[in-house]
Structure 1
């Protein structure tokens, strides 16, 4: 029996393999490098109830993901550090917008509070240079490698095949329907193919002549360290710069990168470097607003590539090519949404019951 083929071994591909583990057809996952070596490895791995633009459908997907994550955190299969998110306002206008956003998020059912400046010193922020912040205390970070290992272990125990160091070089179609894939190791028939290739998703789409409005941005991250221990929530500013506590005495500092309008298609394998100006911007922001990080030293750095969509919503579901599916364009929310996306798409592929609202919300057809 021809298999369902998943292209991509990050958190999304691994989640889908797990949710398809009971499929009557064989399931084969191909990863061009090592599992989790792409965008998942470069992620700061947040699970967030926080939203910058209120969207109840997005909240509901997060809730479905947490329903799956929570028991795994509780039994210590997955580690989770609940540090909370501070969305910091530097002007009165930003503060008013965040107060309104706080009310919206609370209406969805998430815990959110607007904090006045004086309350922010407890979180490491200088209260004299900010106008307040929205605090979502239940946010935190996971470990992408643990998520992938769990999903892949459970999937392979049920017969899913995982092939690493095996790039898919072409998707074969006949009369508008997927019939197989070509890999560096040979050609293979397929009953269905899923593009879960992260930043490589546009390249895979080109193999079947599908055009979806994906773009990339670069997300620089530096790791900062102090000798003494400290704590820091996930702190984000309106200009896209963020900081996130990591363990006992480290923090990540990064930038969300260009918006969709300013982004472009990149070569995911291309060289990536952090401009010197970014180090200066980080130092300036610490000196200006985050006294808790004064005296840190830079100990590591990398640049990730995110895949963006025009509306900031992932693209998940059927495409115009029969038996070719997609789960890409996570807009930096791959870790947050992986369980819900895998569960939903598995239902679509197997012909199971799926939520019509979720289907229309995520559908690639919304760009037609």
Structure 2
């Protein structure tokens, strides 16, 4: 296996074995067969780096910040070696007229072939005057760039669903990418911000197969958004037993009980946080003691407040059937609960995960 990517990675100290392992992990996370890992590696190693144009609109730069805080093999390193990032205001050295010239040249030279990444919502009020780049509205820039794109990735909840700018009363008239572009393949990668490896996985899939991964009814990759946070949460057994923390510092919270009654939106939020985690797999919000805020769902900001419990049954009797379907057996939950209690007695402030319990 040779190619420009392999040579570049070798110079950075990334071995062929590490690269293969990375591709195998991506394939596994996306529920692809084992052979797909090698197919990904071979395709990315041999492929000419595709041009990528990243347009930042009404956003906070959190999506870019998320990618730059990736783990080894660094996702940002993989992105910059796998692709030719020809325009990204925050990361590129050029500015002003030079930056806009680089964008125009990349679009012209790679017309019909480049991947367009958009983060941030697009304001329509006041003829788009709320957000402009180089004197041009986001609406104009998006339509121009979308015309020559092979595919579009809506990066983050703002681009995917409108996000915080669209929250009531939506003074800027913010909309999502899919609200404006109807004639191009679009994949939504929501999250505030999204998980870096999810973004890389989508790009790797496109580079390998020349198409976007299988999507759900909201345009999200099923491999990463097919399950709810609740489905994979290590606190799920306590939910099934009706054991809920009442405050963030009570005995239940110290025992690792379910945060449902404190407003956790895990039961209605689709994302891979519980399995992929953040900061190199270190932790995720629920493991850190805070309920899920539902940031990868449409209109999450208007969903009733972060600390208001969902108006769905929390009784273990009522959810018993659903728990069985999800594979959350109560017997296993009791066993896990007992082991958590023993560990909690030794270190009441330590957060215990299923991974810890299985050691």
TM-score of the aligned structures, taking structure 2 as reference length? 0.27
Q: Which has the higher strand share?
A: 1
